[in-house]
Structure 1
């Protein structure tokens, strides 16, 4: 009798879920008097032109915080914001909607920029490397060599553990690892003249992309004024072949600029009309040497900001909450924005990182990804879930961040994918970008990005790897997401609750399938039950998080309770199936 009652309840729950009418929150978000169609508003207006042109401007520079290229990029964005109607904060009043400011702080350390470099094997006319074609060859923080360069014998250290016992004084040390790993032993303690290094990971496909160099760095040391050169696969092979035959002497000629500077962060606000203290923050870091990483994020954020300004001026949009854009130093600027003003941080409702968002995946590989807030897939990664080659560590249940944001943005991006035949995927939480400071402060945060990219962090990450179509897709979906959240109310919350309920049922049934496969391979039943319970708990709390959209909890309490009951029944059914 008990089993029949449970089965009947589960049948009713599933039937209710299946027969419930589907509402697309990106297309129909109700307000008091109107129904706004955000997708049509944005799809026809976000062209990707400004995003692409900004990417082209920024990618010309090897950008380090405080250097010429970084600062020019910040001022270029500010210039475009002013054209769109944003006003410097010191010239505004309380009624100004579009504002921006450039925060300026002294850098604790000097900044750095590369100027020129060449590496030549003695007796050969053709340089082994030159900065004009391999802009990443000079390791970050390297000092200039004397004007005529440094000419010295190359000594190859195959086993870096033996470096400390090798006499390298006055020689150029060649290693196949990061130069930072051996800098202190080789240069500071060993007196080496410099370092040549090779350490391109396999996902860069170095035997195919033989000229690529992934940028490297060394500690900045004003006493020894050391330097290092990173090698491409082609240069590494050529040098090793030469070393097998004879003693090799090279001349390294490096010119860099190292100087005191200031750190700039650009903050643009689009003030909300009803609850301006509440805000959604998009963060796009400026530093890095490439086009996709992260000139594309800078460009997409700028077009999003300027297009929003246009809609407001034309009377097509009136955000209830504030939309903020940050351009600055990766993680550092975002962390400061979150930490320096506790009252402001308390009202940041969502934080999203735009990082590597314009890729031509036919060239770079991989796909567009939404890196989710920590959910159980970051503990038990299986089925369609998988970490990228960037890699992620296993999290714990205590590190979970249950929230509707994961499934909310995924649905909007999937809808944009259907409109334009664009692939959208997700990956479990890995960290490493501007979403991490938000999450560390218990602010819901996700990352929009691409991976794997076979040109990631290399000097072949240039404008020809960027797709204007991708810039448009990401910017369009990101703006639809933003407008929906900024004007969210009880109607939005109810739609999201329904969508999360469906997502939870799909996930629990997938975990039931994966659990059965695990048991067939000898896995423990209790582990599979724990996984089901973890997902039930995560989704139950995610549904509860929709309360942040409403002023009166009573308006959606019944919807929350019903959805949570359905999820609980589904989880119980899955566990019962596992126990059979």
Structure 2
């Protein structure tokens, strides 16, 4: 994004008793605004960007056995209703909003028969937290009109009293209650005791120095580099970042949009001071995680995990993810109960809780052998409104260290993984087939085409926990979403059909792994051969690092063994990691 000069007002600023009436005076230029454009977003052509897959035989194979019945029974209206319910709350871990959201999830599962019928289990896990639960109650930022040291007028600039309000992210997560008045400064080096620091840096990055200099509060208009409206409407100038403070921080801390920061700077130049008020509640309570399970028919002690986060403050991140997986679990149960599909050979666990922790909590509680995990994070974004498409983030494979075409990282950026931790598995083959199968089924419905893509591992969600324990894992998400982690991430940016498609792909892949059959193997082997040819050609092309081909050869040999064991209903092979990559230079990464 472009950081421009403070906003130039489109019309004169009115005054009352010397107080600027700033709230309605801001135009759509200024901080966070790029060059206006009417270009918008081009149409999606459909298809999967990544290695191709083999065609599914008549009668289905792997995920294609489950895609048609799941598409037919998945109730997208119910999923959207759940997402809307969850999005009404700021779901900080174990907070009032989180508690109401997890109660909604538990009620939805129990109402479908989980925890009440044989073979369909429901468990609620409780764990202590290192910090008390934090619930934001209200906040406000006011412009003060002063005369002779007295407040003669108070004009609201932003505020909320309802957890569903558009300004609910004003208080940085974990920040204290406060009532602060003072003048604003806009550079850290200008802070004097009692000043309110307004900055484009994150609260965490300036907090310690601001406290040392005597700041009374921090107001940040920080935005992530990809918070740039792809439609040209410049909606990012209204975006408030979802930020937090360090544990134990005591300085009042707020986040605002670039527009509000502009208003504060213009007002400050004309002599206005500001008032920051926040009310939060802290309470010691356990963090709850819900786990619904479909017990396997033949190998119940082996399991597949499907993980979604209830925590957060957004609709796509991650009310829609939790809602899609909740409805997906219910849809899969309905198919089993009606006899349309058989109970899977292995158990499937559906996990709902705090992002980046719920998966580990469930793993620690369950005494079975995990086979694979699929994490559903941000799975309903509207391409037309956000620019995001459905992505498969593969687990740790050689491309996580050295990526070659057709792989390309997202703006999230590459993660760091040790080569000895890379263990071959075929989960990405199954998920890739599931995405393609859903796209083909949608085409048969004469619906608009579905575009999906994949990329190497980048990290940042629950799949890291499973990968770190040697378990095959992958992430399904939507990116690049300009509203990610901001106040703009609300239900108007969620697409019901996108949520249905993505949820069905995840559920079909999970069911295919849990119920892998010998008849699935031929297609998996054919898809694996397509990818093998692609990767080996790329790894021997001019400019590719020497030694990379041998690493991929080892990967594919192990992946083939993994898929053969999975479909045969045998214990998965144990690997000690790929050969050392010390001889490989990553300077050729593209």
Specify the TM-score bucket, using the shorter chain as the normaliser: 0.7 to 0.9
How far does residue 419 in structure 1 lie from its aligned partner after superposition? 2.9
Change (3 A) 1:155 1:40: closer
Q: Aligned runs of 1:106-505 on 2, under 5 Å? A: 106-123=128-145, 126-131=155-160, 132-145=165-178, 149-157=179-187, 160=188, 162=189, 168-187=192-211, 189-205=212-228, 208-221=235-248, 225-243=250-268, 245-317=269-341, 318-340=343-365, 343-344=367-368, 347-420=369-442, 421-505=449-533
**1:539 aligns to 2:567 (yes or no):** no
Instruction: Give the Cα–Cα distance (whole angstroms) in 1 for the partners of residues 329 and 175 of structure 2.
Output: 37
Change (3 A) 1:271 1:115: same
**Greater Cα shift, 527-536 or 70-79:** 527-536
1:117–1:130 Cα contact (<8 Å) kept = yes
Runs of 4+ in 1 over 4 A off after TM superposition: 550-554
Change (3 A) 1:400 1:25: farther
Instruction: Give the Cα–Cα distance (whole angstroms) in 1 for the partners of residues 287 and 201 of structure 2.
Output: 31
2:300–2:347 Cα contact (<8 Å) kept = yes
Question: 1:566 matched to which residue of 2?
Answer: none
Query: What SS does the aligned partner of 1:69 have?
Result: helix
Instruction: Give the Cα–Cα distance (whole angstroms) in 2 for the partners of residues 109 and 394 of structure 1.
Output: 29
Instruction: Give the Cα–Cα distance (whole angstroms) in 2 for the partners of residues 413 and 505 of structure 1.
Output: 21
Instruction: Give the Cα–Cα distance (whole angstroms) in 2 for the partners of residues 41 and 505 of structure 1.
Output: 33
Unaligned runs of 5+ in 1: 1-20, 519-526, 558-580
Count of matched residue pairs: 499
Instruction: Give the Cα–Cα distance (whole angstroms) in 1 for the partners of residues 256 and 210 of structure 2.
Output: 17
Instruction: Give me the TM-score of the superposition, normalised by structure 1.
Output: 0.80
1:55–1:295 Cα contact (<8 Å) kept = yes
Instruction: Give the Cα–Cα distance (whole angstroms) in 2 for the partners of residues 59 and 208 of structure 1.
Output: 20
Instruction: Give the Cα–Cα distance (whole angstroms) in 2 for the partners of residues 552 and 465 of structure 1.
Output: 42
Query: What SS does the aligned partner of 1:464 have?
Result: helix
Instruction: Give the Cα–Cα distance (whole angstroms) in 2 for the partners of residues 291 and 274 of structure 1.
Output: 38
Instruction: Give the Cα–Cα distance (whole angstroms) in 2 for the partners of residues 430 and 36 of structure 1.
Output: 28
1:26–1:412 Cα contact (<8 Å) kept = no
RMSD of the TM alignment (CA)? 2.6
Instruction: Give the Cα–Cα distance (whole angstroms) in 1 for the partners of residues 569 and 137 of structure 2.
Output: 59
Change (3 A) 1:26 1:186: farther
Instruction: Give the Cα–Cα distance (whole angstroms) in 2 for the partners of residues 385 and 167 of structure 1.
Output: 46
How far does residue 315 in structure 1 lie from its aligned partner after superposition? 2.0
Change (3 A) 1:212 1:27: farther
Unaligned runs of 5+ in 2: 1-52, 146-152, 443-448, 574-590
Instruction: Give me the TM-score of the superposition, normalised by structure 2.
Output: 0.79
Residue of structure 1 aligned with 2:56, choices 6, 21, 24: 24
2:404–2:538 Cα contact (<8 Å) kept = no
Instruction: Give the Cα–Cα distance (whole angstroms) in 1 for the partners of residues 510 and 286 of structure 2.
Output: 32
Query: What SS does the aligned partner of 1:369 have?
Result: strand
Instruction: Give the Cα–Cα distance (whole angstroms) in 2 for the partners of residues 552 and 353 of structure 1.
Output: 23
How far does residue 42 in structure 1 lie from its aligned partner after superposition? 1.6
Query: What SS does the aligned partner of 2:156 have?
Result: coil
How far does residue 458 in structure 1 lie from its aligned partner after superposition? 0.6
Higher relative contact order (CA 8 A, sep 6+): 2
Change (3 A) 1:476 1:553: closer
Which string of whole-angstrom CA distances, capped at 9 and with x for unpartnered residues, describes residues 90-121 of structure 1?
xx7xxx20110111233331111212212122
Which string of whole-angstrom CA distances, capped at 9 and with x for unpartnered residues, describes residues 299-336 of structure 1?
11111111122122212222111111110111212112
Instruction: Give the Cα–Cα distance (whole angstroms) in 1 for the partners of residues 569 and 373 of structure 2.
Output: 24
Which structure: larger Rg?
1
How far does residue 418 in structure 1 lie from its aligned partner after superposition? 2.9
**Greater Cα shift, 132-141 or 429-438:** 132-141
